[in-house]
Amino acid sequence: MATDLSTGVPMSELPAFTLTDGDGRERAFPSGRPSLLAFVKEDCPTCGLSMPLIQAAHEAFGDAVDVLAIGQEAEGNAVLVDRHGLTAPMLDDSALHTSYAYDLDTVPTLILTGPDGAEQKRFIGFGRDDWQDLFGDLAGIAGVDAPDPGWDEYPDSRPGCGSRSVEPGIAERLAAEAEGSPLRARRIDIGAGDDLHEFLFDQGLTDGLPVVPPTAERVMRMLEGTTRDAQDVVAVVPPNLAPATVEKVAINAVMAGCKPEYLPVVITAIEACVTEEFNAHGVWATTMGAAPAIVVNGPIRHHIGMNMRLGALGQGNRANAAIGRAVRLVMRNVGGAKPGGTERSTLGTPMKYTLSFAEWEERSPWEPMHVEKGFDADDSVVTVFPATSGPQLMVDQTARTARALTGILGLTMAAVGNPRTPTGHVLFVVCPEHADTIWRDRWSKQQVRDYILEVTSMPLRDRLATPDAGGIEPSQFGPDGPTGEQLDKLYSKFRGPDFIHMVVAGSEAGKFSAVLGGWASSPVSRKIENIP
């Protein structure tokens, strides 16, 4: 192994490469001779300052040392050769694979190597003393005197310029193309004359709206949003029971318009959806038309800029819209849940596109939903709710007491699905003004839930199906129907207080709350992990 000429420390061998010079001739490194590698680009003034010295080194030491200029732009390389009368080989690294392999941040970068390709000396930018020392080393290798290219005419130092290999977009592409890339998904080649967006529509990869093309560069950038390995399996996604790796989730997050910082939320929502309690297969396959409503709690709400205020359940916020859409695209493109296939919703719902929002914890008089569910206040948590209806607006602008307001909101909830039929879980989204009215009487969430159970209770006789209205079939109570005692018994719309899930969100102006009806499965909450 070679050693550093100045320190005697062993140096590691540099990556081998083969590049083409201006005459179309392939040049390989290492070549069995000492080499001077000079990485440059045409639009860098410091590279231009260095070019005469690269040429001088080639003329003085070229019989013993391979002096190689390595240019980062095909057209710029030709300009440099012509401008400086370069006879030293100018190698074309416009694909930037060699620059990436050498982990360049700045050009010019000068590297002196031994015959076996082991690095002996390196400097970045321009330093007159560095160049003079380098000429001395080259003279020693070649056994000749070092020329004086007019050192007094050169400045003491100049900073370099950014390597093209680290420019945004290019760096991600190079990482995706490099050996050891984390990407494993099958790549699809598209004809030069094809419309990319129409192609994605034709392949059935969209939800009916245009998507962001998931190029390798974009996927690599998306993967920066999590510390998890790209090939970790996040979930086995129904109905096809297909494994969704972090990479595949990232691909669909790109398509949905997510930023990298949204990725941990999307991953956690997918993990929650595939649990037995949530029953994603049933949610997608039911003719009732269910979809996950995603509620986010904790510090990550602010970090990624989620909307929890005016219009929280609507359009206009990128994080809200893209997170919910990404979850649905994963279920569609990985799990195979497509309308007309296993997705059999009778009417469908706009929630099939997206519905995700954050709870406005700071505006709530109560502890936030994730704390109720046993998480710490500073945990970031995703809750997926199997929503079938809504958001159903609930209006009351006159009530002045907790009892009056909760009563009317509860009666509105009684109509979820079917006024005569008990239901499962509901998501109660309380606007700040309504929360203020309820809290004025210091009612807890438990008191709110208990009173909703009370006002939505009615005798079984009023819940039974009749020739004039549907409801509970009497046959459920046996061939003779319910007894008189059963007919008089009160039944609430909801099975218990734990089936009413409360969050605060929305504008501070406007006394409008909302309720989302649930399906037969249960909401699931998961802590968000693997945030860089």
User: Backbone phi, then psi, for 476, in 5-degree steps?
Assistant: -65, -15
Q: Which residue blocks in 290-431 are alpha helix, DSSP H? A: 300-303, 318-333, 369-372, 402-413
Q: Which residue has the higher pLDDT, 415 or 524?
A: 524
Of 424 and 376, which is predicted with more confidence?
376
Give the Å distances, CA to CA, from 463 to 288, 412, 491: 21, 16, 8
- For the chain, what is the radius of gyration of the CA atoms? 33
Tell me the pLDDT of the chain averaged across its residues.
Answer: 93
The pair of three-digit structure tokens given for residue 177, joined into one six-digit string = 């193309």
pLDDT value of residue 7:
46
pLDDT at 38: 98
Architecture per CATH, 17-167: 3-Layer(aba) Sandwich (3.40)
Average pLDDT value for residue range 182-188? 77
182 or 11, higher pLDDT = 182
HSE toward the beta carbon, residue 176, CA cutoff 13 A: 23
pLDDT tens track for 202-253: 989 999 999 999 998 899 999 999 999 999 999 999 999 999 999 999 999 9
pLDDT score for 81 = 96
- Would you state the pLDDT for residue 179? 65
pLDDT at residue number 210: 96
Structure token pair of residue 415 = 């109509």
CA distance 28 to 31: 6
pLDDT score for 214: 94
Q: How confident is the model at residue 1 (pLDDT cuts 50, 70, 90)?
A: very low
Q: Quick: pLDDT tens for 298-350.
A: 999 999 999 999 999 999 999 999 999 999 999 999 999 999 888 989 999 99
Q: Residue 473's pLDDT band (boundaries 50, 70, 90)?
A: confident
| φ, ψ (nearest 5 deg) of residue 490 | -85, 135
pLDDT at residue 11 in the model: 56
The ranges assigned to domains in the chain are 17-167, 198-457+492-527
Residue 9: pLDDT band with limits 50, 70, 90: very low
The pLDDT assigned to 272 comes to: 98
Question: In this predicted structure, which of 168-172, 218-222, 452-456, 494-498 has the lowest mean pLDDT?
Answer: 168-172
pLDDT band at 174 (very low <50, low <70, confident <90, very high): confident
State both tokens at 344.
């059999």
Which of these ranges, 48-57, 76-85, 481-490, 495-504, has the smallest mean pLDDT?
481-490
Rounded CA-CA distance 14/6 in Å is 18
Distance of alpha carbon 42 from its chain centroid, rounded?
Answer: 36
474: pLDDT confidence band, cut at 50, 70 and 90?
A: confident
| CA neighbours closer than 13 Å in the CB half-sphere of residue 236 | 3
pLDDT in tens, 254-282: 999 999 999 999 999 999 999 999 999 99
124: left (phi over 0), alpha (psi -120 to 50) or beta: beta
Contacts of 193 (CB under 8 A, 6+ apart): none
Question: Scanning the structure block, which residue is given the tokens 């459920």?
Answer: 476
Residues 76, 90: Cα–Cα separation, whole Å: 11
pLDDT confidence tier of residue 61, bands split at 50, 70 and 90: very high
For a pLDDT cut of 70, what percent of the chain falls above it?
Answer: 97
Look at residue 65 in the predicted model and tell me its pLDDT. 97
